[in-house]
Amino acid sequence: MATSSIPKGKDSCLSTTSSVNVTETPIVVASSSVNNGKNNIVRPRSLMDNSNWWKHVIAGAFAGGVSRTVTAPLDRVKVLLQVQGAQLVSIRGCYYYMIKEGGVRSFWMGNGINVMKVAPENALKFTFHDQIKLIMHDQMKSELGFVERFISGSIAGSLSQTVIYPMEVLKTRFCLRKTGQYKGLLDAIMKIYHAEGVRAFYKGYIANLLGIIPYAGIDLATYETLKKMYIQRHPGNPPLGLYLVCGTVSNITGVCIVYPLTLIRTRLQAQTTNPMMPIYKVFKKIIAEEGYCGLYRGILPNFLKCTPAVSINYFVYEFTRILLGAEMS
């Protein structure tokens, strides 16, 4: 039975050959061959015969853990500025505060829960994205464009965030805790539950969803579009540095658009009192007390943290995916 071959630089052309030709292409719908006794029929990879999903899970989880551990100190600075911006007005002030509060180890305070959150979130996001693109391709019977990738990324981002959102709240609380406030993850869960109830684990969820839908769509669609444009002009295996550049551009684009909602979400997550303040009141309070610039408080450390985090994330994901032999749809 013949296997499929995808010529370099041509996404829409499939041909049969006696060997497997594996090249890195920006949009490849993997194919399989069916022998009907007379001719070999090449058909697109579908959900039923897709064996790559677990490879995307592993690559996504590993990339998420590595990227967040490397940038954990900047993540904590970002959260401190978003929530305690009136007291901690500079990045240097945040670092002095962390060293005084718990030493160098406090730079990674909350990183354990962050990795526990990001690893499955990343794994689910990339896996959902790949599967949704397969479904869309089966329906459209044509190459996916920016809009389709945006829709796929938005759905994948919102689904993965919904699954792990309680961990997002716990991560924020761990970043803001004082040394000794929580003995561990289970102790934090029990204390938050007894003090604020189950709803505490979904504080800021709506604001988060309103932000993640455009961000995930823009991030994934921009990343894949830029990668595709490069490979179309330079057929063959792309340099790994390409993933860093594309990830940086896609992240900056997405963050600039949705950052105010990210800030509001973090403020809501940090609330320890009931009832929870509505989104519009948090918005009005920020403008009244800090001005419109307050909606972008902490964006510099967010860029300093998220830009390398997202770039490293894409780099490690692509590198691991290639090692595992997982194809991109």
pLDDT tens across 199-239, in order?
A: 889 888 988 898 899 999 999 999 999 999 999 999 888 88
68 and 39 together in one domain: no
176 within domain boundaries:
yes
| Per-residue model confidence (pLDDT) at position 87 | 67
198 and 227 together in one domain: yes
29 and 83 together in one domain: no
51 within domain boundaries:
no
Neighbours of 276 (CB within 10 A): 17
| Per-residue model confidence (pLDDT) at position 119 | 92
286 within domain boundaries:
yes
Which region among 55-69, 78-92, 267-281, 300-314 has the lowest average model confidence (pLDDT)? 78-92
Q: How confident is the model over 32-59, as a mean pLDDT?
A: 56
Q: How confident is the model over 35-46, as a mean pLDDT?
A: 42
265 and 234 together in one domain: yes
Q: For residues 27 and 29, give the distance between their C-alpha atoms in angstroms, rounded to a whole number.
A: 7
- The per-residue pLDDT for range 246-255, each reduced to its tens digit, is 999 999 999 8
| Per-residue model confidence (pLDDT) at position 8 | 43
299 and 261 together in one domain: yes
Q: How confident is the model at residue 268 (pLDDT cuts 50, 70, 90)?
A: confident
Residue type, 238: P
106 and 156 together in one domain: yes
Share of the chain above pLDDT 70, in %: 81
Structure tokens at 260: 């105010």
Which region among 25-39, 107-121, 218-232, 239-253 has the lowest average model confidence (pLDDT)? 25-39
Residue 29, domain extent: 1-45
163 within domain boundaries:
yes
81 and 33 together in one domain: no
50 within domain boundaries:
no
Structure tokens at 171: 């991560």
73 and 158 together in one domain: yes
Which region among 37-41, 55-59, 317-321 has the lowest average model confidence (pLDDT)? 37-41
Cβ–Cβ < 8 Å for 130, 190: no
Cβ–Cβ < 8 Å for 107, 73: yes
| Per-residue model confidence (pLDDT) at position 125 | 93
| Per-residue model confidence (pLDDT) at position 326 | 80
Structure tokens at 212: 């993640």
- In Å, what is the CA distance from 127 to each residue of 152, 178, 219, 242, 309? 11, 36, 15, 21, 19
299 and 274 together in one domain: yes
φ, ψ dihedrals at 90, nearest 5°: -145, 160
Find where tokens 């455009």 sit: 214
109 and 15 together in one domain: no
329 within domain boundaries:
no
CATH code: domain of residue 310 = 1.50.40.10
Q: Is 207 exposed, middle or buried (0-12, 13-18, 19+ CB in 10 A)?
A: buried
192 and 253 together in one domain: yes
Structurally, how many domains does the chain consist of? Answer: 2
11 and 98 together in one domain: no
Which region among 61-65, 105-109, 149-153, 195-199 has the lowest average model confidence (pLDDT)? 105-109
54 within domain boundaries:
no
Q: Would you call 109 helix, strand, or coil by DSSP?
A: coil
| Strand locations in the chain (E) | 3-5, 15-17, 31-35, 40-44
User: Is residue 33 pLDDT above 50, yes or no?
Assistant: no
Q: What is the pTM of this model?
A: 0.70
Average pLDDT, the chain: 79
52 within domain boundaries:
no
Which region among 62-66, 272-276, 310-314 has the lowest average model confidence (pLDDT)? 272-276
Q: Residue 99: enclosing H or E segment and its boundaries?
A: helix 91-102
